[in-house]
Structure 1
Amino acid sequence: MGEVVDGERGSGRAALGRTLRFLREKAGKTLAQLAAETSYDKSYLFRLEKGERLSKRAVMEDLDTYYDSGDLLVRLWKDTQREVIKDKYKAYMELEATARILWMFQLRVPGLLQTEDYARTVLSGLSRAQTTADNGEEFEEQVAARMGRQELLHRQPAPSVRVIMDVGAVRRPVRPASAAVDHPRRQALLSRPGHRAPRGPLPPRRQCGGVPTGVGGGGVGREQGRTRGRGGR
């Protein structure tokens, strides 16, 4: 495994790319054969190995199954997700990933509970930039990283999560329409033993202090303490 991976955005991505190539060569497969047997595009697989793309978790699960590598690729993929998080959010994300208690107040659906369509809509609005060939991949990585945060909701033991959303989160129009329609279904799926079921919207409250849409307070805590912060996460 002495080959060099061209990914320049972090060691996690490079390690994942090297591992993908190593497993393929160990299996005696060419990229063309792998593409034919997994139904993934050859150029896409090539770019994963070169560290030029980040996949979704489902792709790594499929390849783990194909190579019979347990959850090796999924674990490496989780490491790469941290590398695409913007610096100003990294400290919060590190706390969130290990928190046992999370309390949040948000004016929008919090990132931890967003569907992919909703996350895509919100992130495209925050960037205020049209998606182009140059920034499209970075945008997709941000979406994948946000969806990857939901892994913590399925760990054992599961964290205690309490979310209060402003009534505007369910009344404010979201485009595409599917982004809003899917949310009741997503919140119901996340309501299982260890999580409180979503309640109906609270009475409208006055927004004080000129807080812009999409920015709210939140807190994460461990057994020894609790940290509170603000931000549209």
Structure 2
Amino acid sequence: MVVESVQGSGQDPLAQDFVQFAVDAGVLRFGEFKTKAGRLSPYFFNAGLFDDGAKLGRLAEFYAKRILDSGIEFDMIFGPAYKGIPLAAAVAIELARLGRNVPFAYNRKEAKDHGEGGTLVGAPLKGRVMIVDDVMSAGTAARESIAIIQAAGAQPHAVALALDRQEKATENGQDVPYSAVQYVRDRLGLQVCAVARLADLLQYLQQTGQGGSAADHERVLAYRQRYGVDEG
């Protein structure tokens, strides 16, 4: 089941505000960037550049609002190392500020060999777990998180993302007719909500002409037409 909220049709004010924020913060940039799949993308989203307290706090506001609006039920938050760690912590703080206090946890890339040891930090993984990450390109990180959560005896239940690129994933170097988000949703059975999608970015560029020039809209649209997935 996909949670679209108001993203299914028309303009999504939250997504538009988020895209504007990402552009202003220098997190969303336009030009020519090589993706992990080897594609030349006309835009690049680097969540690591939400790199001060004000930006991270504002980012958490967008996540928390989208998560609460989605109606997804969950018991705790998990942040996959490394980018998911500050995201999970910030989102947990914002959710608590809004009256939805939930525990959170994250993993280490390498097991700690002293103190309490292990690879998990924070609250014990239990119940329905929402994974918080920035973007999803191949679904590899999501599968790793799912394995960690299941190994702890909890239920991987949902994923919250900042941006859904809405483009074909790759397997063994070949394009497949579904996105990483669709794979996680339809094949792994997790609910997914994203603050914004590529469709929202296109709408932003069309309406504002920002992001360099109106030519950016044409380049992003051409990329979407070439690599986009069928949302039907």
TM-score with structure 1 setting the length: 0.24
